[in-house]
Amino acid sequence: MGNNNQENKFKWIEIVRGAFAGLSCLMIYWGWSIDTNDSFLKSFNLSPESLFLFGIFFSILFLVSSLEKIFSPIVELFLTKLVITLSITGLLMICMVQSSEMLNKIFSVDASLLPFSRSFLAGILFFKKIYPFSMLLMILMILYYVIQIIDVIKEAGKDGWPAYIKYSIFIISTIACLVFSYKFNNVYFNDKILPKKAYILAKELDFYSNEVCNLPAKSKNKKIIYMDTQYKYVLVDKTMSAEQDLWGFIKYASESGDADAGIFYKFDSYEKPDLIVQRCLSDF
């Protein structure tokens, strides 16, 4: 009975892996090939970039489900679970400390005032720290699928075309995730631009539109965060900014030669954005 349950579990994982890999390839292809003005995209309020990101998301799900199949027997051991849990917890704590330090350097305030951006930034730092391991793992997975195709060719010849298609889709999905991971670590969120991205995160996630405080004219329509629990003082961000979507945030300031990279946040040094602390004078 136990063996049958295990076999059914692996069969289900195989179906899920195939679905995730197929969807990732399909979404990435659509993201590259469909025009921005396509009526189908407009009807769902989507963009080619969003389809591409969905493709990468499904590719990540494919990798996670593959890891479940590979490491499931090992992870079931108590000591292995303990070591993995402690390692990940420790690494997350380090990333949280580093994200707090980075935000403190940018805003000169306690990072607890920026909870959402601190958590998001910690996630980015976590990925950057496991990046070498994840790249090695994806390369090994690609080699494994190539070997599987070679074995199928030797054993089944032309009759093995379903396996060719399956492993080819697995390879394409893994390569897509590998390339995106490389660009994520070395282009979109490299060490040079990461502080600016941290500033953008805080501006989008933790700063609020001013609806309560009577501020001077130059600060009236700017975003703020409250500095204390009595709401007496606010930190005002006077830096000019423009709204952007997720893809705009990812590509912002990357060294890709984009002409529009500087339109979102106009400051030359991430350590000196246009910030000012002011007293909140409320009408209420």
Instruction: Report, as an integer, the average pLDDT of 140-156.
Output: 88
- How far apart, in whole angstroms, are the C-alpha atoms of residue 33 and residue 107? 41
Out of 62-66, 174-178, 180-184, 247-251, least confident range: 247-251
Tokens of 66: 């593959």
pLDDT tens-digit map of 34-49: 766 666 666 666 777 7
pLDDT tens-digit map of 129-140: 999 999 999 999
- The candidate with the shortest Cα–Cα distance to 121, out of 154, 137, 97, is 97
- How far apart, in whole angstroms, are the C-alpha atoms of residue 245 and residue 234? 27
Q: Could you say which DSSP state residue 271 is in?
A: T
Tokens of 106: 């940018």
Pairing of strands 281-282, 213-214: antiparallel
Out of 16-30, 238-252, 261-275, least confident range: 261-275
Angle at Cα 264 formed by Cα 259 and Cα 265, nearest 5°?
Answer: 115
- Mean pLDDT taken over the chain: 80
Q: What is the pLDDT of residue 181?
A: 93
Instruction: Report, as an integer, the average pLDDT of 202-226.
Output: 79
Instruction: Please identify which residue in the block is written with the tokens 């389809």.
Output: 51
Instruction: Report, as an integer, the average pLDDT of 233-250.
Output: 74
- How far apart, in whole angstroms, are the C-alpha atoms of residue 21 and residue 16? 9
Out of 88-97, 172-181, 232-241, least confident range: 232-241
Query: How many C-beta neighbours within 10 Å does residue 142 have?
Result: 16
Whether 238 and 274 have beta carbons less than 8 Å apart is answered as: yes
Instruction: Please identify which residue in the block is written with the tokens 């004078």.
Output: 281
